[in-house]
C-alpha cells in the first residue's frame, strides 16, 4: 500500500482500532502499538485481492473484524488459570500470548486458536480432513505441522519460515 | 484390575470446551491431546460407558468427553500405560512410546484424534 492510500483510509483504521482496541488494552501505548502494527497487514490475501474487493476500506473492515474475533479468543486463552484443563495444566505464559498476537497481524485471516496443556497455543487452518496447517507457538520456539493429501511437513521452524511454509501448503 | 490394558479396553479423556471447534461440526483439535506429562486418560477398567463419563464430569465441567479403544492407540504407535494414583485408580497415560512420555509426533496425535469418538457433549 502506498502512502497516499494509507492516509486515505487512516480515519477508518483509527476508528476500527479504537472501537475494539479499547476493549483489549487499557493503556494508550498498547492501543498505539496495535494501530502501528495494523498498518503492516498485507492486502495480497488471495481471497480478498483488490480485484475482488469493492474498496480498500472494506478489506480493512473485514480483517479488523476477524482480528477482533481472534483477539477476544486470545484474551480468553490468556485468562485460563492453573488446572484449566482438569489435568493440571498451567496457565498459558504471557510471552506465548504476545507471540501469537504478533503472528495474527502477519498471517492470513481464518486461523483458529487453541491452547494446549503444554503451555503453548496452536494456530490452525483446517481446510479438510487431509488438508490442514497447524502452528504450535511455544515461549521459545515454533513447531509446524501441515498436510495436503500426500504432501506434508513436520518440524521446528524459525518465524521467518512460517509464511514460506504457508505458501507451500497453499500451492 | 489388571495392570495390562486390553486392546479392546476404552480410554476416556475429558475435553475442555475451548478445544472444540463448534463451527467445524464439533471437531476436536489435536491440541486436546498435547500434554507434556503424557496424555492423561481414564481406562474403563470394566465399567460401563455412562459410569466412565459421569466420573469425569464429577471432577470437572468438561465441554465433552471422548474415548478411544486401546487397539487404536497401539495402531498409532503410541502406548497406554496404567498409572493409578491415590485419587484416581483408573488413571492412565497415553505416551509416545515405552521410552518416551510426551507425544511429540503430530502424526500420532492426529491419528488419536481421528480415531476418538465423542461420547458426551455438554448441551
pLDDT in tens, B72-89: 999 999 999 999 999 999
Mean pLDDT confidence for B41-69: 97
Q: Is residue A74 located within the same domain as residue A87?
A: no
| Residue-number span of the structural domain to which A9 is assigned | 1-79
Q: Is residue A128 located within the same domain as residue A46?
A: no
Within 13 Å, how many C-alpha atoms sit on residue A111's CB side?
Answer: 27
Q: Do A86 and B14 touch (CB under 8 A)?
A: yes
The mean-pLDDT minimum among A9-18, B1-10, B109-118 falls in A9-18
* Residue A147, beta-bridge partner list: A132, A152
Residue that terminates a domain, selected from A79, A114, A139: A79
Strands (E), B44-111: 64-69, 79-82, 91-95
Q: Is residue A160 located within the same domain as residue A96?
A: yes
Helix (H) or strand (E) holding B71: helix B70-76
Q: Is any Cβ of chain B less than 8 angstroms from the Cβ of A145? A: yes
Task: From chain A, pick out residues whose CB is under 8 angstroms from the CB of B106.
Answer: 134, 145, 154
CB contact residues (below 8 A), chain A span 39-98, against chain B: 76-77, 80, 84-89
Q: Is residue A16 located within the same domain as residue A53?
A: yes
Q: Is any Cβ of chain B less than 8 angstroms from the Cβ of A154? A: yes
Q: Is residue A71 located within the same domain as residue A91?
A: no
Q: Is residue A67 located within the same domain as residue A111?
A: no
pLDDT in the model for residue A11 = 43
How confident is the model over A24-44, as pLDDT tens digits? 333 444 434 433 443 343 333
pLDDT in the model for residue A66 = 66
Q: Give the integer Cα–Cα distance in Å for A109 and A88.
A: 32
Report the domain count for chain A. Answer: 2
B interface toward A at CB cutoff 8 Å? 14, 16, 18-19, 21, 24, 27, 29-32, 34-37, 40, 59-60, 62, 102, 105-107, 110, 114
The mean pLDDT value of chain A amounts to: 74
The pLDDT-based confidence of B21 (bands split at 50, 70, 90) is: very high
Chain B interface, mutation test: which of A72, A83, A96, A116, most B Cβ atoms within 10 Å?
A116
Portion of chain A with pLDDT greater than 90, in percent: 50
Residue that terminates a domain, selected from A59, A79, A99: A79
Q: Is residue A66 located within the same domain as residue A89?
A: no
| Cell 482438569 sits on residue | A86
Q: Is residue A107 located within the same domain as residue A131?
A: yes
Mean pLDDT confidence for A131-160: 96
| Å between A61 CA and nearest CA of chain B | 22
For chain B, which residues make up each domain, given as ranges? 10-121
pLDDT in the model for residue A65 = 66
Q: Is residue A153 located within the same domain as residue A171?
A: yes
Chain A interface, mutation test: which of B21, B29, B37, most A Cβ atoms within 10 Å?
B29
* Residue B102, beta-bridge partner list: none
Q: Is residue A159 located within the same domain as residue A92?
A: yes
Q: Is residue A44 located within the same domain as residue A6?
A: yes
Sheet arrangement for strand B79-82 = B79-82, B91-95, B39-43, B10-15, B64-69, B117-121
A42 or B18, which is more confident: B18
Task: From chain A, pick out residues whose CB is under 8 angstroms from the CB of B36.
Answer: 117-119
A130 or B94, which is more confident: B94
Q: Is residue A142 located within the same domain as residue A63?
A: no
Amino acid at each position: 500500500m502506498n502512502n497516499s492510500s494509507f492516509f486515505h483510509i487512516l480515519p477508518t483504521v483509527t476508528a476500527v482500532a479504537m472501537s475494539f482496541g479499547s476493549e483489549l488494552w487499557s493503556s494508550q501505548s498498547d492501543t498505539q502499538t496495535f494501530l502501528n502494527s495494523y498498518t503492516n497487514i498485507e492486502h495480497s490475501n488471495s481471497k480478498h485481492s483488490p480485484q475482488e474487493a469493492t474498496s480498500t476500506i472494506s478489506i480493512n473492515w473485514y480483517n479488523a473484524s476477524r482480528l477482533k474475533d481472534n483477539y477476544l479468543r486470545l484474551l480468553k486463552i490468556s485468562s485460563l488459570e492453573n488446572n484449566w484443563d482438569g489435568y493440571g495444566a498451567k496457565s498459558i505464559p504471557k510471552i506465548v500470548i504476545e507471540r501469537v498476537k504478533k503472528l495474527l497481524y502477519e498471517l492470513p485471516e481464518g486461523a483458529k486458536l487453541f491452547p494446549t496443556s503444554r503451555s503453548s497455543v496452536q494456530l490452525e487452518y483446517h481446510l479438510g480432513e487431509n488438508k490442514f496447517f497447524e502452528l504450535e507457538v511455544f515461549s521459545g520456539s515454533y513447531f509446524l505441522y501441515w498436510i495436503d493429501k500426500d504432501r506434508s511437513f513436520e518440524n521446528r521452524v524459525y518465524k521467518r519460515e512460517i509464511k514460506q511454509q504457508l505458501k507451500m501448503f497453499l500451492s | 484390575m489388571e495392570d495390562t490394558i486390553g486392546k479392546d479396553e476404552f480410554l476416556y479423556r475429558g475435553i475442555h470446551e475451548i478445544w472444540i471447534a463448534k463451527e467445524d461440526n464439533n471437531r476436536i483439535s489435536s491440541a486436546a491431546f498435547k500434554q507434556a506429562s503424557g496424555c492423561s486418560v481414564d481406562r474403563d477398567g470394566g465399567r460401563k460407558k455412562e459410569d466412565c463419563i459421569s466420573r469425569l464430569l464429577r471432577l470437572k465441567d468438561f465441554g465433552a468427553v471422548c474415548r478411544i479403544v486401546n487397539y487404536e492407540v497401539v495402531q498409532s504407535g503410541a502406548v497406554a500405560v496404567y498409572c493409578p494414583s491415590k485419587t484416581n485408580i483408573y488413571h492412565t497415560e497415553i505416551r509416545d512410546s515405552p521410552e518416551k512420555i510426551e507425544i511429540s509426533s503430530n502424526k500420532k496425535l492426529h491419528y488419536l484424534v481421528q480415531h476418538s469418538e465423542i461420547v458426551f457433549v455438554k448441551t
